Amino acid sequence: MHCFTFQTLYDSIRKEPFKIPEDDGNDLTQTFFNPGRQGWLTKEGGKHRSWKKRWFVLTDNCLYYFKSPQHKEPKGIVPLELLQVRDAVEVRKPHCFEIYSNDGLIKACKLDSDGKVVEGHHSTYRICAEGEDDKDEWVKCIKASISRDPFYEMLHQRKKKAQKGH
């Protein structure tokens, strides 16, 4: 039996060039299997702290961001395992939320200027929506995506079962 872990995926992303399957005529929504949410958000950079507008797609417990909806290769991928989301109070920008880890640096990846996949430099992703309702909907969808991880649900069920046995 092959055991797939996040570390396996992460190691694979670091070693192999990241490629999205060739476009078969379907739009981005089909490429990402009916995402939980997609739309324009503004993201703060990890190193340089500049703000850039990106097209975000939330699907399969990952948050992908692209330069635009027409681009087929993501600029970055944020696996949502073990992460949390909260409203952020950003002085310069309204309608912000944060994706963060209690363990420090978030295990994510992005494309550098040469198109190579590199580790992200975020301990927190600060992201702003167009309005308060849009922000609230993104936070709700991200929370739902984080809580729907079948692997952690399975571990939780096994732990409950083991506790009943003792």
Tell me how far apart the alpha carbons of residues 42 and 135 are, in angstroms, rounded to a whole number. 11
Tokens encoding 41 = 């958000």
Is the CB of residue 123 less than 8 Å from the CB of residue 104?
A: yes
Q: Is 74 helix (H, G, I), strand (E, B) or coil?
A: coil
pLDDT digits (tens, 9 = 90+) for 96-128: 999 998 878 888 888 887 888 888 778 899 999
Tell me how far apart the alpha carbons of residues 70 and 55 are, in angstroms, rounded to a whole number. 9
Tell me how far apart the alpha carbons of residues 86 and 80 are, in angstroms, rounded to a whole number. 13
Give the residue among 90, 65, 85, 91 at the shortest CA–CA distance from 76.
Answer: 65
Tokens encoding 29 = 């929504």
Is the CB of residue 107 less than 8 Å from the CB of residue 10?
A: yes
Is the CB of residue 85 less than 8 Å from the CB of residue 139?
A: yes
pLDDT digits (tens, 9 = 90+) for 131-165: 999 999 999 999 988 865 566 566 666 776 787 76
| Residue 11 confidence (pLDDT) above 80 | no
Q: Report pTM.
A: 0.69
102 CB burial (10 A radius; 0-12, 13-18, 19+): exposed
Angle at 69 between CA 66 and CA 70, to 5 degrees: 105
The pLDDT value given to residue 13: 62
Average pLDDT, the chain: 79
pLDDT digits (tens, 9 = 90+) for 12-52: 666 665 554 454 444 444 445 567 899 999 999 877 778 99
Which band of pLDDT confidence, cut at 50, 70 and 90, is reported for residue 2?
very low
Going by DSSP bridges, is the β-strand pair 37-44/76-79 parallel, antiparallel, or unpaired?
unpaired
Tell me how far apart the alpha carbons of residues 90 and 139 are, in angstroms, rounded to a whole number. 16
| Residue 83 confidence (pLDDT) above 60 | yes
